[in-house]
Amino acid sequence: MHATAPVSPDEIRKGFSRAMSDMYREEVPLYGALMELVAETNTRVLDTQPLLAQQLQRTGEIRRLDMERHGAIRLGTAAELATICRLFAVMGMQPVGYYDLTPAGVPVHSTAFRAVHEQALQTSPFRVFTSLLRLELIENLELRAFAETALAKRSIFTPGALALIEQAEKDGGLNAVDADEFVRQALETFRWHPSATVTGAQYRKLSDQHRLIADVVAFKGPHINHLTPRTLDIDQVQAAMPGKGITPKAVIEGPPRRHCPILLRQTSFKALDEAIAFTDAQGSHSARFGEIEQRGVALTPKGRALYDRLLNAARDELGAFPNEGNAARYTQLMEHHFQAFPDNHAQMREQGLAYYRYFATERGLAARGSAAQPRTLDALIAAGHIDVEPLVYEDFLPVSAAGIFQSNLGDAAQSHYTANANRAEFEQALGRRTVDELKLYGQTQQRSIDECIQALLG
Ligand code: OOG
Ligand code: NI
């Protein structure tokens, strides 16, 4: 390729996702073990479930499956968030959705940086769950001031990364040589640092306020804290984890097991304590963990409302945070309440609970122009001229995210903040609006309908 031709942001994201995975595998060997387990499980599922294999073939997901992963970072200041937004933009990633984690006792709000068009997602579905610490929720004013000063002193981007972000913005992209250098420079922001910027006593003070505050404030940068592969059967992986020396959290977050998966199911395992050199002493910190996820169909506002209602009903009846002791009962309650959610794609579609993608079939294309060609979407589907496939959920779930945070911060970290959503403030820090994920699903669904109509009737 000519060195001056611009590289597509989607290709830069694909390269960055691969580089991030290589770095994390080197730093956290358990991640490599988990990747192998997920790959083995996915191969087995595809071999034994030809209908699922066909569906993933049709939507293209089968070709992105083994490169599919999400990561997460936690930032300390508005300025860091604004710059990370520009960094991700170079890779074609936009901030999608707003998540308030305060009701679960985690003093952050978050968004997910990801590609927004189905074709871009096909090239690389890499996502990063990005949280901003809310210093205003630290009640101890002295500690808050200390945290502000510590964060003001650090610079989480390399000069090279900042220069290439500016260059990409000015020139509308990067050439191949600069894109490679950008990936190398950008990776530095996410790297683990075995040395802290504070003393052991300062770390303890921050940590006593909230483990998460120490994780953000005491370090040079926002180390990537997990990288999550996508499995086609999370229960199989969860069951096989102990055999590989990995102990998963007690419950799988998200909906219960179903024939037709919806939204997102996730489970994680706690990382080990890692040695840290504080400025005056040796100590340790645990931040990095492992997680797996299984993705299902995206839900419409109506479907999402039903999901939220059933989840809340099950949790209310449990009367406590799901944990080791009540895990079996929680699973039972979830299965019971979710009987009210149709487990069948035809019904979900007819009732407007989920988003779908529509594909013209060979039979439909062969009948094009003939008098026998049906004229409406439903009739075309019934005649087998259009295939309907679930549109995969690309985002996150706040209650699940809270459960993942909690399990990795340790139960002692459960603090109480009153629900405190502040999307406007988050967007002000970000420097732009967040994208409405429901609009994106609606647009992808509509584009697939338009393409079918064009191909069959146009
Ligand atoms: C992010 C936790 C949320 C998920 O998959 O829901 C998350 C964090 O711990 O920083 O990654
Ligand atoms: Ni995650």
**How does residue 414 score in pLDDT terms, banded at 50, 70 and 90?**
low
Q: Is 115 in the pocket of ligand 1 (CB under 6 A)?
A: no
Which residue has tokens 């990409």?
A: 168
- DSSP code of residue 103: G
Q: Is residue 166 exposed (0-12), middle (13-18) or buried (19+ Cβ within 10 Å)?
A: exposed
- Residues 370 and 368: their CA atoms lie apart, in Å, by 6
Q: The pTM is what?
A: 0.95
Using the mean position of ligand 1's atoms as its centre, give its distance from the Cα of residue 88 in Å: 18
pLDDT at 246: 86
Look at ligand 1, atom 11, and give the residue with the nearest C-alpha: 72
Which residues are CB-contacts of 409 (< 8 A; sequence separation ≥ 6)? 106, 210, 211, 212
Identify the sign of the CA torsion 217, 221, 222, 225: negative
Give how far Cα 197 sits from Cα of 276, 295, 375, Å. 10, 38, 67
Q: Is 401 in the pocket of ligand 1 (CB under 6 A)?
A: yes
Helix, strand or coil, per DSSP, at residue 188: helix
Identify the sign of the CA torsion 346, 347, 348, 353: positive
Lowest mean pLDDT among 263-272, 279-288, 423-432: 263-272
Look at ligand 1, atom 5, and give the residue with the nearest C-alpha: 401
Residues with CB under 5 A from ligand 2 (ion): 228, 291
- Residues 71 and 24: their CA atoms lie apart, in Å, by 10
pLDDT > 70: percent of the chain: 97
And the tokens for 243? Answer: 């055999």
Helix, strand or coil, per DSSP, at residue 417: coil
Look at ligand 1, atom 3, and give the residue with the nearest C-alpha: 401
Q: Is 182 in the pocket of ligand 1 (CB under 6 A)?
A: no
- Residues 274 and 289: their CA atoms lie apart, in Å, by 11
And the tokens for 107? Answer: 């003093």
Looking at the DSSP assignment, which residues form a beta bridge with residue 293? Answer: 230, 266
Q: Summarize the confidence of residues 322-336 as an average pLDDT.
A: 92
Using the mean position of ligand 1's atoms as its centre, give its distance from the Cα of residue 405 in Å: 6
Neighbouring C-alpha atoms within 13 Å toward the C-beta of 444: 26
pLDDT at 247: 85
Lowest mean pLDDT among 194-198, 255-259, 260-264, 411-415: 411-415
**How does residue 1 score in pLDDT terms, banded at 50, 70 and 90?**
very low
Look at ligand 1, atom 7, and give the residue with the nearest C-alpha: 401
Q: Is 99 in the pocket of ligand 1 (CB under 6 A)?
A: no
Using the mean position of ligand 2's atoms as its centre, give its distance from the Cα of residue 268 in Å: 8
Mean pLDDT of the chain, nearest integer: 93
**Which ligand 1 atom is nearest residue 400's CA?**
6
- The CATH number of 9-298+396-431, from 3.30.565.10, 3.30.390.30, 1.10.3720.10, 3.10.180.80, is 3.10.180.80
The yes-or-no verdict on residue 248 having pLDDT over 90 is no
The yes-or-no verdict on residue 191 having pLDDT over 50 is yes
**Which ligand 1 atom is nearest residue 74's CA?**
10
pLDDT at 416: 66
Cα 150 to chain centroid, rounded: 29
- Residues 335 and 257: their CA atoms lie apart, in Å, by 8
pLDDT at 415: 61
**Which ligand 1 atom is nearest residue 71's CA?**
11
- Residues 377 and 362: their CA atoms lie apart, in Å, by 16
Angle at 422 between CA 418 and CA 428, to 5 degrees: 150
Max distance between CA atoms of the chain, in angstroms, equals: 83
- Residues 37 and 23: their CA atoms lie apart, in Å, by 19
What residues does each domain of the chain span? 9-298+396-431
- Residues 95 and 111: their CA atoms lie apart, in Å, by 6
H or E element at residue 113: strand 108-114
Q: Summarize the confidence of residues 81-89 as an average pLDDT.
A: 98
Q: Is 131 in the pocket of ligand 1 (CB under 6 A)?
A: yes
The yes-or-no verdict on residue 405 having pLDDT over 90 is no
Q: Is residue 373 exposed (0-12), middle (13-18) or buried (19+ Cβ within 10 Å)?
A: middle
The yes-or-no verdict on residue 418 having pLDDT over 90 is no
Q: Summarize the confidence of residues 305-320 as an average pLDDT.
A: 94
